[in-house]
Copies of this chain bind each other. A is one copy, B any other.
């Protein structure tokens, strides 16, 4: 592969930024990659592990001369970080982000950016339950989708160039309207995360069942929820607050359906339950056939500790 951007600046150095860095290096997709993080501890870690060609102590230094600037910070601070970045942007540069919510990011970031740059928001649908600068790895985006959300009138060449970068990471790339993105993600990500957090919180909070029992007996299903409920709290707080409408809409539908199933249980309506549980198997098959999950039992979890 060849260099897509001569100079890339990563603002924020967590799971996504660090995975982007390793993927750029592996693929030879960028010349120099600079990085900035608000916390001195994160910058120290980045220097220690060789994350970024140059770790900068200021946003200005990181952004200066960059052809691509990627905001990799929680959605709640995208606006203020964009305001900091804006004065230092090189004419013709592309600004992107990796936030999990798009309409709100467009509204927050767009107004700060000068006319002489291109703004192409992006959302890689990939991640793990781990966070921070040490958690990234080059293959994170492979065979996963990245959604680009260019505002109307965005330069086609700027969008295509960013697409080339993501394809260089091994990602599949789609383009979408911001509102539709936010609804789709409310279904496939935001509502499931809130539900998982809720279930884990409830288990932790029941007086008649101890935490030790919950932990010992978690392999009966519960443990599957705990993975996504271990995701970064700041990131997820911001996601829910900035994708409020769509998340609440999906949760409303979820609650309706849950009540219908509870009523079926209470009334002993086995047919309703059986039909519902049969239908849900098809989606799993679709996901496996699309290469988005493994068919190995239990996700192919590694065996127990020796």
CB of B187 within 8 A of CB of A254, answer no
A290-B215, A302-B296 known; A203-B229 Cβ under 8 A: no
| Contact string against B for A residues 266-300, beta-carbon threshold 8 Å, 1 for contact and 0 otherwise | 10101001101111111111110011111011111
Q: Given the complex, which residues of B lie within 8 Å of A198, measured CB to CB?
A: 254, 257-258, 261
A265-B248, A300-B301 known; A189-B221 Cβ under 8 A: yes
**CB-contact partner of A297 in B135, B236, B283, under 8 A:** B135
CB of B221 within 8 A of CB of A244, answer no
> How far, in whole Å, are A198 and B299 apart by their CA atoms in the complex?
20
CB of B273 within 8 A of CB of A237, answer yes
CB distance from A293 to the nearest CB of B (A): 5
CB of A241 within 8 A of CB of B268, answer yes
Q: Which of A33-41, A84-92, A106-114, A122-130 contacts B (4 or more CB under 8 A)?
A: A122-130
CB of A143 within 8 A of CB of B305, answer yes
CB of B251 within 8 A of CB of A218, answer no
CB of A261 within 8 A of CB of B197, answer yes
| Contact string against B for A residues 238-270, beta-carbon threshold 8 Å, 1 for contact and 0 otherwise | 101100100110110111011001100110101
| Contact string against B for A residues 197-236, beta-carbon threshold 8 Å, 1 for contact and 0 otherwise | 1111111111011010111111111111111111101101
CB of B301 within 8 A of CB of A220, answer no
Q: Given the complex, which residues of B lie within 8 Å of A227, measured CB to CB?
A: 224, 284, 293, 298-299
CB of A229 within 8 A of CB of B284, answer yes
CB of A126 within 8 A of CB of B219, answer yes
In this assembly, does A195 line the interface, its C-beta being within 8 Å of a C-beta of chain B?
yes
CB distance from A183 to the nearest CB of B (A): 6
> How far, in whole Å, are A53 and B250 apart by their CA atoms in the complex?
51
CB of B185 within 8 A of CB of A192, answer no
CB of B194 within 8 A of CB of A199, answer no
CB of A201 within 8 A of CB of B135, answer no
Q: Given the complex, which residues of B lie within 8 Å of A218, measured CB to CB?
A: 188, 287, 292-293
In this assembly, does A3 line the interface, its C-beta being within 8 Å of a C-beta of chain B?
no
A208-B183, A214-B187, A304-B142 known; A230-B265 Cβ under 8 A: no
**CB-contact partner of A225 in B184, B192, B213, under 8 A:** B192
> How far, in whole Å, are A296 and B303 apart by their CA atoms in the complex?
11
CB of A283 within 8 A of CB of B200, answer yes
Q: Could you list some 21 contacts between A and B, CB below 8 A?
A: A142-B303, A143-B304, A143-B305, A187-B203, A187-B214, A188-B213, A190-B221, A192-B224, A197-B277, A198-B254, A202-B257, A204-B280, A215-B283, A216-B290, A226-B287, A230-B281, A241-B265, A244-B268, A291-B304, A291-B305, A299-B301
Query: A residues touching B (Cβ–Cβ < 8 Å)?
Result: 76, 100, 125-130, 135, 139, 142-145, 147, 172, 174, 180, 183-185, 187-206, 208-209, 211, 213-231, 233-234, 236-238, 240-241, 244, 247-248, 250-251, 253-255, 257-258, 261-262, 265-266, 268, 270, 273-274, 276-287, 290-294, 296-305
